Structure 1
């Protein structure tokens, strides 16, 4: 099998984790190659994500290093052995690789947490809201390309109610609930959809109010698979999304999200007692904004 010309994020992440194991053990490429019974020149292609590594060789490396948790090793073997194929595969020649990477991460996540300061999270958007956002945005794309990306965003929402649906916890700044795209009806239907999604058993939704702690100006999403060490933070940027997987970055964003949760209003709950409306909470705030639009 030839070398990959354009490795996916998952493939690059696998290679980066192999490099981390080697470096933590203090192994040179030659020493690691000896432990795995392979040519030293092959190490760099594995660590760059351009080729894979068999489970047997990975286990031999971690056995020689002697310092890796067994659960982490098995999770890494699973990561490296995945095909990378899914519903997103049909978009491979049509969309930016970073979008496909995001869909693959969402598909294998057990928990997704996200913060949005200005927009409704993509997983919660209605078709009309998403279309208005693309049509009124700043990205220079043809109508055909916009249609493909809108369709892709709607397809991503299948993760909400799939067989292995992850737990999803979102904090949305109140500013995102005031942005009006297209028409009042667009925002009305979007707020109704937001309440509907927030009442799903695997979704937790909180609103960060204007009168609370100053929120971040940049959205981010933390995607956690079965092995938390293999999590990824996706930080949205006007130029391109940043994919972060190092331990320090993961810890930093987990801490920031915890602080946002503390500052946000109590979450929307499926069964809200009448007395609960006497307390300021996320559902009450969304409904207060919704009533004038009805």
Structure 2
């Protein structure tokens, strides 16, 4: 398959896993090239995600590297077999690569766990709420840049709205629920969006009250995406609306899995979360009594 000048997150992850399999087999790039009857350049390009891999070739690679994990091989085969053009490709050359990577990650996830402290979860933001966030960016964004980001963020709702949407857990700090991003009317509509999302069978929404005190990852948003096999899970932890780093190491996955478990434990149950949201909405200026 021809080289790809700008590989997607999924392509880069597939290449990284092929490199990991080669390293686990104790093979150098030269030795792998000899086994697969190719060149060192092709091996390196494939592992960087710049050179496509067919399902047939992937099976040959797994066999040559002595892989003994059929579920992992099946998951990798699915990654290289899926050539569907994702909706996020419409934003290529309009937004930073990180925005496309996150959308692609969410779309293919088998489950999502999200925690936020300073703002509402990206996946549940209304158009007006997202626009207010992006207009507050420093350095300032142009209006076309703002609108492109807003359109992309609203499109991310599709990962949750589709018939086969994965289970999604949202842990939202009370500070995010109370911060009037865009003003009272925008926040009121945003709170309604949360309560509507919470009605879905695949969505669990829990608030972290001020009374819960300290907790892991303060001021940091966390997105944990489950894959078909745990080895392919991915975590994104960031402090700004434009993250640029996806983590796959076992150390990162374990750490943030534990963090999210702890936060879930101290958060309000779903029913009390809705009570808190209704209370906050009723206290907003302009609310009809």
Shift of 1:250: 1.3
- Answering whether residue 232 of structure 2 is matched by residue 241 of structure 1, we say no
Matches within 5 A, 1:180-199: 180-199=180-199
User: How well do the aligned residues superpose, as a CA RMSD in angstroms?
Assistant: 1.8
Shift of 1:167: 0.8
Alpha-carbon distance in 1 for matches of 2:220, 2:166? 23
Deviates more, 1:136-145 or 1:68-77: 136-145
Shift of 1:58: 2.3
Match of 1:261 in 2: 264
Matches within 5 A, 1:130-209: 130-209=130-209
Secondary structure of the 2:168 match is strand
- Answering whether residue 215 of structure 2 is matched by residue 224 of structure 1, we say no
Deviates more, 1:117-126 or 1:132-141: 132-141
User: TM-score scaled by structure 1?
Assistant: 0.90
Alpha-carbon distance in 1 for matches of 2:181, 2:237? 24
Match of 1:278 in 2: none
Match of 2:211 in 1: 211
Deviates more, 1:134-143 or 1:218-227: 134-143
Alpha-carbon distance in 1 for matches of 2:119, 2:206? 14
Shift of 1:67: 4.0
Alpha-carbon distance in 1 for matches of 2:10, 2:119? 27
CA pair 84-17 structure 1, distance change in 2 beyond 3 A: farther
- Answering whether residue 282 of structure 2 is matched by residue 291 of structure 1, we say yes
Shift of 1:137: 3.1
Secondary structure of the 2:172 match is strand
Contact residue 36 and residue 58 of structure 1 kept, 8 A: no
Deviates more, 1:110-119 or 1:217-226: 217-226
Alpha-carbon distance in 2 for matches of 1:139, 1:167? 36
User: TM-score scaled by structure 2?
Assistant: 0.91
- Give runs of ≥4 in structure 1 deviating > 6 Å: none
Q: Where in structure 1 are there 5+ consecutive unaligned residues? A: 269-280
Alpha-carbon distance in 2 for matches of 1:97, 1:262? 34
Match of 1:38 in 2: 38
Contact residue 123 and residue 156 of structure 1 kept, 8 A: yes
Shift of 1:252: 1.5
Alpha-carbon distance in 2 for matches of 1:13, 1:115? 24
Alpha-carbon distance in 1 for matches of 2:279, 2:130? 23
**1:85-142 Cα shifts (integer Å, max 9, x gaps):** 1212211121111111111111111101111011011111112211222223324211
**1:231-278 Cα shifts (integer Å, max 9, x gaps):** 21112244742111122211221111111111111124xxxxxxxxxx
